[in-house]
Chain A
Amino acid sequence: MSGSDINRRDFLKFMGLGGVGAATLSGCDMPTTVTLEEGKEKVVAYLAPEEYAIPGIGVTFASTCQQCPSGCGVHGRVREGRVLKLEGNPEALNGKGLCQMGQASLQGHYNPDRITQPMARKGGALEPVSWEEAWKLMQEKASGAAKGRSAWFTGTVSGHQSVLLAALNKAWGSKDHYVYEAINNAVGEAVNESVLGDAAPAYRFDRAKAILSFGADFLGTWVSPVHFSREYASKFRSGDRGVLIQVEPKMTLTGGNADLWVAARPGTEGVVALGIANVLLSKNQVDGKGLPQAALDMISQYSVDKVTEISGVAGDTLVRIAKYLKERSPSLVLSGESAHGHANGYQNAMAAMMLNVLLGNVGKTIEASNSMVFGELKAKTGDSKAMLDFASAADAGKYDVVFFMGANPVYTAPAHLGMAEKIAKVPFKVALSMFPDETTMSADLVLPLSSPYEEWATTVSPYQPKEAAVSMSQPLMKPLSAETKSLGDILLSMLKYQGVKGYEGFDDYYAYLRSELSAMPASVKGGKGNDAFWSAAVQKGFIKAPTKSGSLKVSLGDVKQSGYQAGGDYPMHLVPSSNQAMYDGRNANLPWLQEAPDQITKIFWDSWVEIHPKTASKLGVKEGDFVRVESDQGAVEAQVYIYKGVHVDAVAVPMGRGHEEYGRYAKGNGVNPLKILSPAVDEMSGELATHATRVRISKTGRSDELPRLGGSEVQVGRRLVSTVSADVFKRTEGA
């Protein structure tokens, strides 16, 4: 390939004066983007910019957002050497749009509280040190770790970083890579695996005519919200419009969009599913031949009256739901964290899956997913069992050194787990982190990570049911601090230090990635040369990966349901809800998201307690009063928000605030309901049962104005947003 200079000049010829979209020429054999990395010795921002960087005209580069596990492709608009704005990558699988978390991830990149230098604990406090010192410390304490005495505790990892991490662990003789996500679909995946043989099947929103979701907030935080939102709006809600029924204890964003929102007593979702099945079989003449006899027997025990008694859901609601499911075919039944987070979470998920089997959805709206051939690059998804296992292992003194990256267990772990104390037992803790969060601040050595927009990386989205892609990340600008390193670079350095064969030839992670991409099969490269393929991949933002098709079996498990327990001293159910603004707490240091009002309650910058008007009048509180939510593990106090979107017996406190560290925007702001969770675990899967805590609430007497955006919550007779019925819609705009 000819030298870079000629390419740049030719590039300019193609583009005239430059302009927007320089990086979106596709299909050319010529490398039409010149990346910062290639010209890095010559790049000097502002004074002598690259030829393509014309002051005043933005250039768009592709990268990947890492704010949540979905890994959506983004386009970053770069001007004068800084990335200013992120948009969705229209060509990527999870693209076109970008959710509020993705937009705000830019504030993570530019965050004033980012860690800009390695830190080491000296005499009790973390002090800034040089990388030399940091490596020396690692040498002393970590690299000599005995076989099996080291571990990694991370969030979702994928792509080539995952490969390097696995290689490193292998080099250390460790099998322990704990992948933890506070918001996960682990119980659902376990049921999917057991019933269908596929943990993450393809959900065909475009084919479904009815969706019954037991707490799966697929528009907000469940699995891949941007992807599902697109399908939901463009297919499910268009033309022959489908009906959405949401059954959950507290209204999520998806619940806010439902045609029918049903509040079931927390933990009884499985019973509700059985009740619906009962109605389907008895009243709607649905053929039960798809179900095993044991299931049919179980279903027949749950008459409508019994279900109403246990769950609180009225009989005619069950009949209505059954009618929708029968008439609007095919349907799709989902379940999410509010159904899963109980001691009988697995049972609830199994009951929901039973409905799918009964209604014949498997093969219609639930299909086998295709799996990417690059299996080693696939995402390792997280669950909470990893955290529980890690806590016991750390407590038992199993490790000499633990690496933390992309997870904040000190913050998200319930107090009963004693995570901080257990982690403290590990002699040497290394945190690879961008921000001073709680876990990072408890480490012995902190290595500053670069942001997703300063590094080379590959990412694979966990949910890629049909087509698969390896998403590329490239630096959108020079690193803000020279001392930060990408995860890939750190792992590579560690591998080289360990003398692991096969890595010594690479100067840096960029070189490694180039080599890896060059080594991809010719079919993936599409007949291009290595340089052309690399440029195309970086320009487009992803590599289309070939897939193997999968298949589904159907073997329904046991649908028995355990009984419902009354609460005694603690009569109410705590719902530690996840909301997109704060997510699992990681967004608390982004001021845009702190100021963005919560999607349902419109509250900002602080935590709150959602209760039903009946609860409020029993307690004698009004909006803005501080209440005390107390479990057997502790208590939190926050202001009350009263509305009809929460079950009468439930108290919803959002997770994500109440940080004790994590920078100026997060620290000291709000409360963390995860701390007061009771030690409950889902029996079948071992997952932490986050929705199983019982609490009582009491008045504190304090009151203040609730930080809620908006005056009236009703339209007072004005036609601001009115509603038409779906029949009218189908008449006027139906397909």
Chain B
Amino acid sequence: MSLKNILENWSHYRRGHEDGGHHDYEHMWGMAIDLNKCTGCNACSVACYAENNLPTVGKDRMRKGQGLHWLRMERYWDEPEMGGDEKEYQERGGSFLPMMCQHCNAATCEPVCPVAATYHTPDGLNAQVYNRCIGSRYCSNNCPYRLRYFNFYSYYEESWPEPLNMQLNPDLSVRDKGVMEKCTFCIQRIRTGKDTAQREGREVKDGDVVTACAQTCPTEAIVFGDLLDKDAQVTKLWKAQEVELGKTKQEKSNGELRGYRVLEGLNTDPCVMYMDRVREA
């Protein structure tokens, strides 16, 4: 990083994502999750376990809160926008919310890692470098969504007794103790998709890369793709819902549109858009 470089590009670096700084990015991987279609079946969570070598930690450790569920299916018993919950029964069911790393463009976890083990890739991903992580856990404390998980133990022997270890995905590592981890938007699949496209001499197109959760969802509630690709399904959804990157408050021409981002008022600029749950009034 030369001095000349910094001086020339200072205003650009300073503004970063706010001025659409991400237009320099090759890709901006993002997701659109339709909570009208999501039934809360939890297949996405189990698929994530299968794809990403997540250890099962057992009852005691899971109860203590030491589980590693990169994608968790949350369920709430209230409907903040529709109110009225002083009834005898839970009349409108549960509010399901699949939550995974939002890959925020202004990630609060990135500046605070002492060894720069988490950073923003040119793909728009928030990457976690396992072998650089020294386990200070500051990043997890600073994540407002609490989406970062820590390897409190070394799980290799316990979680994968033979021959379960044969199921492990060799495209990514099995993390040892002391290392933070989180959803990576299946970066191993992104790399494979990009390599395949490069080998075939073409650009990555929509559908080349699909995350494990999006692939297994029986209702196709999760849509994954490149937000910089105008033709991608996810981009069209974001556009239809009038949700844009780089804003803390969306200005929509139609205030009734369902798209929103969780806790976006904190200026994290997440790459995951959710579409409101729908119920009869």
Q: Which residues of A contact B (CB under 8 A)?
A: 16-17, 19-20, 79-80, 82-88, 96-100, 102-104, 106-107, 110-112, 219-220, 225-226, 229-230, 232-234, 237-238, 241, 243, 246, 251, 253-263, 480, 580-581, 591-597, 599-600, 602, 604-606, 614, 643-645, 647-648, 669, 705-707, 709-710, 713-715, 717-729, 731-733
- Chain A CB within 8 A of B91 CB: yes
Contact A717 B216 (CB under 8 A): no
Q: Closest Cβ of chain A: how far from B170's Cβ, in Å?
A: 6
Contact among B43, B164, B215 for A111, CB-based, below 8 A: B164
Cross-chain contact B258 with A599 (CB below 8 angstroms):
no
Contact of B278 with A723 in the complex, beta carbons under 8 Å: yes
Check B41–A98 contact: CB distance below 8 A: no
Known: A243-B280, A715-B76, A729-B278. A112 touches B57 (CB 8 A): no
Beta-carbon nearest neighbor of A220 in chain B:
B41
Known: A255-B93, A596-B42, A724-B258. A110 touches B78 (CB 8 A): no
Residue of A with least CB distance to B68: A595
Question: With A and B bound together, what is the CA distance between A502 and B58 in angstroms?
Answer: 51
Shortest beta-carbon contacts, A-B, top 8: A97-B218, A233-B219, A605-B59, A233-B37, A259-B280, A725-B281, A100-B46, A722-B81
Q: A99-B43, A715-B80, A731-B256 are in contact. Are A721 and B96 (CB under 8 A)?
A: yes
Q: Are B47 and A709 in contact (CB under 8 A)?
A: no
Q: Would you call B256 and A234 a contact (CB within 8 A)? A: no
Please name the residue on chain A nearest to B44 by beta carbon.
Answer: A100
What B residues does A729 contact at CB under 8 A?
Answer: 36, 258, 278
Contact A724 B42 (CB under 8 A): no
Q: Whole-angstrom distance between the alpha carbons of A723 and B96 in the complex?
A: 11
In-complex Cβ contact of B170 among A80, A480, A644, A721 (8 A)? A80
Considering only CB atoms, which chain B residue lies closest to A613 in the complex? B88
User: A97 and B220: CB pair below 8 A?
Assistant: yes
Is there contact, CB below 8 Å, between B78 and A715?
yes
**CA A723 – CA B200 in complex, angstroms?**
44
Within the assembled complex, what's the spacing in Å between the Cα atoms of A110 and B278?
40
Contacts of B26 on A, CB cut-off 8 Å?
A: none
Are A592 and B74 in contact, with the CB atoms below 8 A?
Answer: no
> Which B residues touch A714, using CB under 8 A?
76-78
**Segment touching A, from B9-17, B135-143, B155-163:** B155-163
Q: Closest CB of chain A to B24's CB: distance in Å?
A: 30
Q: List 28 A-B contacts (CB under 8 A).
A: A16-B199, A84-B167, A84-B169, A87-B216, A99-B218, A102-B43, A110-B166, A233-B36, A233-B218, A234-B37, A237-B278, A251-B93, A260-B92, A592-B46, A595-B56, A595-B57, A645-B90, A669-B59, A706-B63, A715-B78, A715-B95, A718-B80, A718-B263, A723-B79, A724-B81, A725-B281, A726-B279, A732-B257
| A594 nearest CB neighbor, chain B only | B56
Which of A234, A257, A262, A705 has the largest number of chain B CB atoms within 10 A?
A: A257
The interface residues of chain B lying within 8 Å CB-to-CB of A728 are: 256, 258, 278
Residues from chain B with Cβ under 8 Å of A643 in the complex: 77, 90
Closest chain B residue, CB of each to CB of A722 = B81
Given A96-B218, A232-B39, A595-B57, do A710 and B75 touch, yes or no (CB 8 Å)? yes
Find residues 247-261 in chain B having any chain A CB closer than 8 Å to their own CB: 254, 256-258, 260
A219 to B78, CA, bound (A): 21
Evaluate contact between A85 and B169: CB separation under 8 angstroms: yes
Asked if B82 lies at the interface with its beta carbon under 8 angstroms from chain A, I say: yes
A107→B40 contact, CB < 8 A: no
- A644→B88 contact, CB < 8 A: yes
B162 CB to nearest A CB, Å: 6
218-253 of chain B: CB within 8 A of chain A: 218-221
Q: A720 CA to B77 CA in the complex, in Å?
A: 12
B62 at the interface (CB under 8 A from A): yes
Closest chain B residue to A97, Cβ basis = B218
Q: Residue B36 contacts which of A237, A262, A606 (CB distance < 8 angstroms)?
A: A237
A254 to B95, CA, bound (A): 12
Residues of B within 8 A of A591 (CB): 56, 159
Contact check, A97 vs B43: say whether CB atoms are below 8 A apart.
Answer: yes
A85, B159: Cα distance in complex, Å: 17
Question: Does B274 have its Cβ within 8 Å of any Cβ on chain A?
Answer: yes
The contact string, 1 if C-beta is below 8 Å from chain A, for chain B 3-47, is 000000000000000000000000000000001110111110111
Q: Which of the residues B46, B88, B170 comes within 8 Å of A104, measured between beta carbons?
A: B46
Q: Tell me, in angstroms, the Cα distance from A717 to B35 when the chains sit together.
A: 19
Q: Which residue of B lies closest to A328 (CB)?
A: B280
- Decide: A604 and B59 in contact? CB cutoff 8 A: yes
Q: Is B192 an interface residue (CB 8 A)?
A: yes
Residues of A within 8 A of B120 (CB): none
Contact of B95 among A80, A96, A606, A721 (CB under 8 A): A721
| Cα separation A82 to B41 with both chains bound (whole Å) | 28
Contacts of A710 in B (CB 8 A): 74-75
Whether the pair A595, B67 counts as a contact (CB closer than 8 A) is yes
Complex Cα gap A461–B41 (Å): 21
Closest partner residue, chain B, to A79 (CB atom): B170
Chain A contacts for B192, CB-based, 8 A = 20
B72 CB-CB contact with A under 8 Å: yes
The prevalent SS among residues of B at the interface is loop
Given A599-B73, A723-B279, A732-B256; A262-B89 close (CB under 8 Å)? yes
Cβ-based interface call for B129 (8 A) = no
Which residues of A have CB within 8 Å of B262?
719-720
Which residues on the B side are within 8 Å of A87 (C-beta)? Answer: 215-216
Instruction: Name the B residues within 8 Å of A727 (CB-CB).
Output: 281
Task: Tell me whether A85 and B212 are in contact in the complex, defined as CB-CB below 8 angstroms, given that A17-B199, A643-B77 are known contacts.
Answer: yes
CB atoms of B50 and A724 under 8 A apart: no
Residues of A within 8 A of B196 (CB): 19-20
Is B277 an interface residue, CB under 8 A from the partner?
yes
Q: Which of B49-66 contact A (CB under 8 A)?
A: 49-51, 56-59, 62-63
Q: Does B147 contact A (CB under 8 A)?
A: no
B80 touches A719 (CB 8 A): yes
Measured CA separation A720–B260 after assembly (Å): 9
Inter-chain CA distance A83–B167, complex, in Å, is: 7
Cβ < 8 Å to A, chain B residues 78-115: 78-82, 87-97
Cβ contacts under 8 Å, B35 to chain A: 721
Distance in angstroms from A209 CB to nearest chain B CB is: 12
Shortest distance from the beta carbon of B243 to any chain A beta carbon, whole Å: 13
B residues less than 8 Å from A96 (CB atoms): 218, 220
Residues of B within 8 A of A721 (CB): 35, 74, 76, 95-97, 274, 276-277
- Cβ of B89 and Cβ of A261 under 8 Å apart? yes
If A596-B46, A722-B79, A723-B82 touch, whether A253 touches B39 (CB-CB below 8 Å) is yes
Complex: how many Å from CA A82 to CA B81? 48
CB distance from A318 to the nearest CB of B (A): 14
Shortest C-beta distance, A682 to chain B (Å), equals 27
Q: B residues 182-220 with Cβ under 8 Å of A?
A: 192, 196, 199-200, 212, 215-220
- CB nearest to A614 among chain B residues: B88
CB distance from A242 to the nearest CB of B (A): 10
Given the contacts A85-B169, A257-B93, A709-B67, A723 and B220 also touching, CB distance less than 8 Å: no
- Which residue of the partner chain, among A100, A233, A606, contacts B42 with CB atoms under 8 Å? A100
Q: Which of B77, B221, B254 contacts A732 (CB 8 A)?
A: B254
Contact B199 A599 (CB under 8 A): no
Whole-angstrom distance from the CB of B260 to the nearest CB of chain A? Answer: 7
Which chain A residues border B91 with CB–CB below 8 Å? 260-262
Instruction: Please name all residues of chain B whose beta carbon is closer than 8 Å to the beta carbon of A86 when the two chains form the complex.
Output: 50
Give A230 to B221 CA distance when docked, in angstroms.
10
Q: A17 to chain B: closest CB distance in Å?
A: 7
**Bound form: Cα–Cα A257–B67 in Å:** 27
> A106-B50, A237-B37 are contacts. A604–B62 as well, Cβ < 8 Å?
yes
State which of A600, A709, A720, A725 has its C-beta within 8 Å of the C-beta of B97.
A720
Since A593-B46, A725-B279, A725-B281 are in contact, a sample of 7 more A-B pairs with Cβ atoms closer than 8 Å, ordered by chain A residue number, is A232-B39, A241-B36, A256-B75, A256-B94, A257-B93, A597-B42, A644-B87
By beta carbon, the residue of chain B nearest A241 is B278
Asked whether B164 lies within 8 Å of A233 as measured between CB atoms, the reply is no
With a cutoff of 8 Å between Cβ atoms, the chain A residues found around residue B57 in the complex are 595
Q: Does B175 contact A (CB under 8 A)?
A: no
